[in-house]
Amino acid sequence: MTGNPAPPTATVRPFLVPHSPDWEPRGRALTQDLLAALAPLAVRVEHIGSTSIPGMAAKPVFDLQVSVADLEPVEAAFAGPLAARGFRLSPYRNDHVPAGLDDAPENWTKRLWTRRAADGVTAVNLHVRRTGSPGERFALLFRDWFRAHPEAVPAYARFKQSLAGVVDSTGVYADVKDPVVDLVITVAEPWAAATGWKA
């Protein structure tokens, strides 16, 4: 993530909560609302990240992914609908490129909107990525591998809880967690090839 402005919440101390069974229907409602609001530029909207994985402890922030054919028009086109829903555009424009991957950083470009929790309003990180991009695929593969391997969820959740207990900001939390996520993907890629998984 070097060289990119930090998200607005990067200085907040990380706080994890146990998995809640209502995360799945809440995520589905959020994705349906956003798809309706952001179409036709939004090709699809997916619930990703730890709150999308059954049994996974997580920060009480939903990660959602909007897939678009082209990133260029989205800032202007999405500005109104997202502002009406309490979202603010972040200056953060690039995903972490996995360690050991020889890929140009521009292939991992995205747009990010964030919404903080308020009365009756769910906190959300909204990642807008190009359809077919490595960042879009990475997010979906991470989610689906854990969904297919529930036996791996407790160990990863314990790692996150231990990490959250010793760092003082979500920025540091994310930086330390990134290499572990990279290791998960090295296991997930052979699974994807063997099962014919597609993003």
The interaxial angle of helices 170-195 and 153-164, nearest 10 deg, is 170
Question: Which phi and psi (to 5°) does residue 87 adopt?
Answer: -90, 150
Query: Tell me, what's the pLDDT at 100?
Result: 81
Q: Is the pLDDT of residue 101 over 90?
A: no
pLDDT tens, residue by residue, 106-136: 999 999 999 999 888 999 999 999 999 999 9
Residue 4 pLDDT > 60, yes or no? no
Percentage of residues in the chain with pLDDT exceeding 90? 83
- Could you give the CA distance from residue 139 to residue 68 in angstroms, rounded to a whole number? 15
Q: How far apart are the C-alpha atoms of 115 and 108, rounded to whole Å?
A: 22
- The pTM score is 0.91
Q: Is residue 131 classed as helix, strand or coil in its secondary structure?
A: coil
Q: Which residues of 45-56 are buried (b: 16+ CB within 10 A; e: fewer)?
A: bbbbbbbbbeeb
- Taken in order of first residue, the domains within the chain and their CATH numbers are 23-195 (3.30.460.10)
Q: What three-state secondary structure class fits 96?
A: coil
